[in-house]
Structure 1
């Protein structure tokens, strides 16, 4: 399989796009992304332990400037980096996992997994750009949805290499500080792989419907993130997921609860100061990671 649409990071980023598209979060009034950003950052304290908590997005404008003095200071004062997942730079290994989980023999053709309106949309999509949905019949519905979104969002002036995970990994690497993942790449993809087929097909149908609107979505998300507007991010990520309870439970709620337990347990045993960076949507809305950590006795202070 030849990758021409932004590589593995685009596929992981597509998982975020899927969540936003499922929420029906579309606002098109902003056309020019802001380049000077002040995304939200928190300092955490409990029983003499401390940490930094930061929300990321997976793609930013190629000229975005978001490493503010406050974030740089937090990086400098941290001993290690915690991300949702590490190892994305090893594209060969990551794609091997994706191919193993995402491909299956004997699947029905992609159009037959869509209702008549979805099939019509897929035909229109192929007419506009045959590459967006080519070669996907052998992929499970969730994997096809991620690939369509990754392909559609490529070339829109946004870069995953300028976004949180890549920039933070490089900064900690230059300083000789280690990085750890709260999850593995395989674990993240299995969240999608374990979804019931109806939910997978709902993701596929949404990906087809919204393939032409990825620029607007990325722009809206970047604007809210760059302004540190957590209420807006919460609405984008979570509001519409009430209509998709299986998605919300598996991709948001269960993970937030698991991360809160991991972070609390690890920091109880270690005095090193971590810089914790997870998707910004996990820090907003009901039962977000921040509130779960506060429920475990952590005092969070927003510093940016």
Structure 2
């Protein structure tokens, strides 16, 4: 199974709508706990907000819930900075986008950076691997497994190992037991990095989906729930059991947590070059079984994803296609496939960078309002403080002249949290035949 499942296959039944509505409204962090009540137990567990259901004696050892993690001292919502990998693709006079995501995230990743937000705003449609908010999709993923199949796959020591991992993850006994076996262990894999501040609730795909819904932008699923379940389960119950054993090995050893943290750091730096060398450092392609899994999760799916993106673009839509970042690398990666289909592919965000998100301006103390002006002239004390580089959209005085600075002659401070722009350097992504700009 390995860590690539987390980057490639989205977690299901994650309710992010309350947190992101709060972010958009810039409400105080004290309101998170009230707004984050989730209506269904399975949804809470798969989202990682399961500690509230444990006995009080065990709560001290449980990682905080996603909401509680934002209320730690020194933790605050931040203005977005650009993270992940982004390519612009153009054909037929229209522009679409490829965005490599990760399906877990940190609290300060919930706001897209300016480049990502602009590309999303300019697009007509958001395309995701799967839309977990779609009712039919959610029902398919949450459908109880066949009890006889559960008994065949989760037998003996395998069942006991899974039970121990549920206890370590603070999941109440039996809470996940009706889900398909591979989904049970995938849910646990998504919870393991909470100790490092990574939560499924803050998964990048989900935050983009909420942003799109808030702006009434259509969302299209590139795959079906049935197709993703088939990819996850494999060709047989025996293969599914082998994948469960491999995942339990990594959960028990702590290896999975370290791999997920490394992948998250690579993604956050937009380090496409290191991601392209994933096979060299992930320690996850050592056996034929692992190599088959990689092929099934990535190479076998990518042509269908490319078909869906091309179809939407050809239909006259500018598409923002957000899928797991590992779909972007290699000879079968989406940038290469789209170039082969006649798209001009231009790297936009693909180079390693260190970024810092400053606190949101709206959560900081408000700046004092500028003094009023009389007849378009500066008030006493403001003479000689004209600023020819006034920001676009600044309030103007009567007569169309720019409003003067506040009393004392000092120009207003720049809004807190505005991330400095950084021009993208030469792309580190693999080259593709066709029209690829460098």
TM-score by length of 1: 0.74
Candidates 224, 228, 238, aligned match of 1:184: 224
How far off is 1:129 after superposition?
Answer: 6.1
Please list the CA deviations of residues 269-292 of structure 1 after superposition, one character each: whole Å capped at 9, or x if unmatched.
x22211111111100134111111
Shift of 1:100: 3.4
Q: Alpha carbons of 1:271 and 1:9: their partners in 2 closer, same or farther (altered >3 Å)?
A: farther
- In the alignment, which residue of structure 2 is the partner of 1:232? 274
Counting only pairs closer than 5 Å after superposition, residues 101-116 of structure 1 correspond to structure 2 as 102-105=145-148, 107-108=151-152, 110-112=154-156, 114=158
Deviation of the 1:140 alpha carbon: 4.8
CA 1:163–1:294: 2 relative to 1, 3 Å: same
For the pair shown, which has the larger CA radius of gyration, 1 or 2? 2
Which residue in 2 is equivalent to 1:248?
294
Q: Does 1:206 align with 2:246?
A: yes
Residue of structure 2 in register with 1:257 after alignment: 303
- CA deviation vs aligned residue, 1:211-240 (integer Å, no higher than 9, x gap): 253543332111100111123324447973
Contact 1:39-1:225 within 8 A present in 2 as well: yes
How far did residue 50 of structure 1 move? 1.8
Question: Residue 100 of structure 1 aligns with which residue?
Answer: 143
Of 80, 88, 92, which residue of structure 1 is paired with 2:125? Answer: 80
Quick one: which of 264, 289, 302 aligns to 2:334? 289
* Conservation of the 8 A alpha-carbon contact between 2:48 and 2:199: no
1:298 and 2:298 matched = no
Unaligned residue ranges in structure 2 (runs of 5+): 1-39, 50-79, 350-438
Task: Pick the structure with more helix per residue.
Answer: 1
Q: Could you tell me which of 265, 282, 289 is aligned with 1:223?
A: 265
RMSD: 3.4
Partner of 1:89: 133
Structure with the bigger RCO (C-alpha within 8 Å, sep 6+) is 1
Indicate conservation of the 8 Å contact 1:8/1:95, yes or no: no
Q: 2:384 maps to which residue?
A: none
In the alignment, the residues of structure 1 paired with residue 206 and residue 123 of structure 2 have an alpha-carbon distance, to the nearest angstrom, of 17
In 2 relative to 1, CA 66–226 (structure 1 residues): closer, same or farther, beyond 3 Å?
Answer: farther
Q: TM-score, normalising length from structure 2?
A: 0.54
Once residues 110 and 130 of structure 1 are traced to their aligned partners in structure 2, the CA distance between those partners, rounded to angstroms, is: 20
Residue number in structure 2 paired with 1:168: 208
Provide the C-alpha distance between the structure 2 equivalents of 1:55 and 1:175, rounded to a whole number of angstroms: 21
Contiguous gaps of at least 5 residues in structure 1:
11-34
Say if 1:71 and 1:112 are closer, same or farther in 2 by CA, change over 3 A.
same
